[in-house]
Amino acid sequence: MTRIFVLILILASNLFWTNGGRASEVDPYTFGHVALENSADEINALLERFLAETIRAVNDALRADVNRTPLTYSDTHVEWLFFKIMADFYIRDVAYGVLEKCISANECEGGGHIERILVRPEESVYSEAKWRYTPARHYLASVINVCGVRMGTDKLTHLIDDGFHYYNATRIEWAKLSVEEVRDLSIAFEKAVMGAKLTGVVSYADIEANVRGVDFYYDLFHGSSSYIKRTGAGFLEMESAPDICDYVNRMFDERILENEYVFARRNGPISARKRAALFTVIDERLEQTEAAQLTPEELERERNVLLARSVPEPDWKADYPKWRVAWSAMGFLSDFAWKRDFRRAALAFRTKRYFSRRGLNRRKEITIRR
């Protein structure tokens, strides 16, 4: 019992003490009349660089082992090594991924300029409707256009980071998690402390991004058209670069796949009133987008101002109320103890354990294309 309690505390600490202030939502309604260029090419360039650098590091590790040749490593071992190195390079935070962070700050090395709109919390629909603290006052994901889909940068975190964790959980025997179960577990996460209880928003678009993220990682090594293969000498090689548009779809847009809103812990009169107020504000923003009567010059001027906004790095440890972190951690403990699907979803984020030696020994076998 003591070991289980310690495990729960560690998980709660990882998800809240290191990332609690990062839990984000997006406001796709405010400034909806301002167009954004399609950033698919830039995102693809970043993904290709991430994969190429990871492959290079794997091959360097294979060369560095003087006691073995690359061919003596099994496909399963090489695939495990690839994801272990990728976790060290690019999968850092649970709730604020590398892509989301660099796009918001315009600091994505090798990805070109990615147009994004930062909607400040105080101008958002959440603030005007006096919604829950985190989206109304603390942090919102930037808005981007990828493959013609207007979405938040948080969707890239769900696709690349959460998808990474869920995929690797499906590769471990003891996790007993199938690809088909990822959607249900993502729903359990969203409807518990990692969504509804923290921000009051259940984002089905986030869930869709999680599922498509698992598809992305599956396609790296599985199937006759996988992106990565092994050479005759046993090294990894990228056969072709993935296209983000194969994974992003219109369901990433929260205006299309609408959220579920829960203001209070119990869905009573207070939640109903607050939800009605939020829907009113959302409808007003949609009407403003439809009715925007700006000249091309005025629109371009507003667009340039929005795109030039700087994104301050939030020091949430200084300004995020500690009692809220503690309250959320307690909510995590409760959900972990009493909600089976939430517990299974939380355990999918045990990255270090999956990439321990025991994780390798219990990893399901895979055959990498030659």
The string of DSSP letters for 111-149 reads S-----B---GGGSHHHHTT--HIIIII-BPPEEEETTE
Token representation of residue 319: 């300004």
pLDDT value at 140 more than 50: yes
pLDDT in the model for residue 314: 55
Q: Residue 303's closest CA among 105, 38, 113, 33?
A: 33
Residues 6+ apart with CB under 8 A from 36: 115, 116, 117, 143, 144, 145, 150
The alpha carbon of 40 is separated from its chain's Cα centroid by a whole number of angstroms, namely 17
Please tell me the predicted confidence (pLDDT) of residue 106.
85
Which percentage of the chain shows pLDDT scores above 90?
Answer: 62
Q: Is the pLDDT of residue 324 over 90?
A: no
How many Å apart are CA 293 and CA 279, to the nearest integer?
23
pTM of the model as a whole = 0.91
Q: Quick: pLDDT tens for 268-311.
A: 778 889 999 999 999 999 998 888 888 889 999 999 999 998 76
Q: What is the largest CA-CA distance in the chain?
A: 71
Q: Could you tell me what percent of the chain has a pLDDT over 70?
A: 89
d(CA 230, CA 118): 42
pLDDT category at 56 given cuts 50, 70, 90 is very high
**What is the radius of gyration, based on Cα positions, of the chain?**
21
State the pairing for strand pair 143-146/236-238: unpaired
Encode pLDDT of 200-253 as tens digits: 999 999 999 999 999 999 999 997 889 999 999 999 999 999 999 999 999 999
Which pLDDT value is given to residue 6? 47
Q: Answer whether 185's CB lies under 8 Å from 192's CB.
A: no
Q: Return the minimum-mean-pLDDT range out of 13-17, 107-111, 188-192, 258-262.
A: 13-17
Overall average pLDDT of the 170-175 stretch: 90
